[in-house]
C-alpha cells in the first residue's frame, strides 16, 4: 500500500509540473507587445 501511494504521488506531481512549464503568454507573441504598441502601457501587466 505504501509503495502504491508513493507511485501515485510521484505520478501526480509529474503531471502537475508538466502543465506548469508553459511559456509566458506576454512574451510568446512579441509583435503584440504592449510597449511596442504604446509606451503608455508600461506597468499594466504584473
Per-residue pLDDT tens listing for the chain (46 residues): 789 999 999 998 888 776 666 666 666 666 666 667 777 777 766 6
Residue for cell digits 506548469?
20
pTM here? 0.40
SS3 at position 17: helix
Distance from C-alpha of 16 to C-alpha of 12, rounded to nearest angstrom? 6
Predicted local confidence at residue 30, as pLDDT: 66
Predicted local confidence at residue 24, as pLDDT: 63
For the record, the C-alpha cell of 34 comes out as: 504592449
CA angle 27, 33, 35 (to 5 degrees): 125
Give the CA diameter of the chain. Answer: 59
Amino acid at each position: 500500500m505504501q509503495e502504491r501511494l508513493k507511485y501515485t504521488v510521484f505520478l501526480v506531481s509529474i503531471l502537475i509540473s508538466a502543465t506548469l512549464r508553459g511559456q509566458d503568454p506576454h512574451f510568446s507573441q512579441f509583435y503584440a507587445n504592449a510597449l511596442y504598441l504604446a509606451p503608455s502601457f508600461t506597468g499594466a501587466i504584473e
